Amino acid sequence: MEPDRNKKRRIVLVHAVQVAMEPVEQAFRRLWPEAERVNLLDDSLSVDRGQQPDLTPAMFDRFDRLGAYARDIGADGVLFTCSAFGEAIEAVARALPIPVLKPNEAMFEGALESGRKIGLIATFERSVPMLEAEMRDLAAKRGKDVTLHAVCEPEAMRALQSGDAARHNALMAEAATRLTDCDAILLAQFSTSIAHDAVSAKVRCPVLTSPGSAVAKMKRALAA
């Protein structure tokens, strides 16, 4: 059966931090305003993840239930905006018959087109090993050789959560100066996308963010 291209799509957005919500909402307003957005926020996810070096079976179960809830409320697609839960999101994607996206996969795909030396700036330490692994796995599947340099600036996240976006952006920009000779720099969390202009002013290479890339990929997936 041909997809109904006039149907308003319901996209469930799953957040682990409140500061990720506005960046993805802005991306939808810019790229896909007609999509219906449903926001699920559980900020205990980031708290609990920060206390665990690895994803636990209990955390996988929580993500299974989030995916099932999204399905039950009629989601056409699910976009997770939390970058420290890659394997749990992959399990949800295998379980559901609808598109389920990790937050950074579309941005990583774009980065591979920029060159082989990639810089990454994160603000949540637990996310860094997973992001590095996801990037390298994707590069291997595409037959590309990449060198990835990651910098973590947790103080920037604390500044943003306290309402000091200017300090967040300044810290992100300073972190970017430690990434030299990159072909692209990636801002790892949805929340860090607000620092795009500040970071871009400090470097010569492209600066990529995840919300716009993710929204565009979900839109393409549901138009197919």
Rounded mean pLDDT, 61-86: 96
Contact indicator for 13, 24 with CB cutoff of 8 Å: yes
Confidence of residue 1 (pLDDT cuts 50, 70, 90): very low
At what angle are helices 86-95 and 127-141 packed, to 10 degrees?
60
Identify which of 211, 203, 217, 213 has the alpha carbon closest to the alpha carbon of residue 15: 211
Least confident of 4-18, 69-83, 142-156, 199-213: 4-18
The pair of three-digit structure tokens given for residue 201, joined into one six-digit string: 């002013």
Cα distance between residue 122 and residue 124, in whole Å: 6
pLDDT in tens, 175-196: 999 998 999 999 999 999 999 9
Residue with tokens 């795009």, as numbered in its chain? 196
Note the pLDDT of residue 6: 62
Rounded mean pLDDT, 199-215: 95
The pair of three-digit structure tokens given for residue 147, joined into one six-digit string: 């060198």
Report the percentage of the chain scoring pLDDT > 90: 85
Which residues of the chain does CATH 3.40.50.1860 include? 10-103+212-223, 105-210
Q: How far is CA 8 from CA 5, 13, 74, 200, 222, in A?
A: 8, 16, 12, 35, 11
Note the pLDDT of residue 83: 85
Q: What is the CATH number of domain 105-210?
A: 3.40.50.1860
Cα distance between residue 208 and residue 64, in whole Å: 30
Rounded mean pLDDT, 127-155: 93
Q: Which CATH number fits domain 10-103+212-223: 3.40.190.10, 3.40.50.2000, 3.30.420.40, 3.40.50.1860?
A: 3.40.50.1860
Rounded mean pLDDT, 42-62: 94
Note the pLDDT of residue 214: 95
Instruction: Return the sign of the alpha-carbon dihedral for residues 147, 145, 108, 77.
Output: negative
Confidence of residue 4 (pLDDT cuts 50, 70, 90): low
With 0-12 / 13-18 / 19 or more C-beta atoms within 10 angstroms meaning exposed / middle / buried, residue 132 is middle
Instruction: Count other Cβ atoms within 10 Å, centred on residue 141.
Output: 9
| pTM: predicted TM-score of the whole model, two decimal places | 0.86
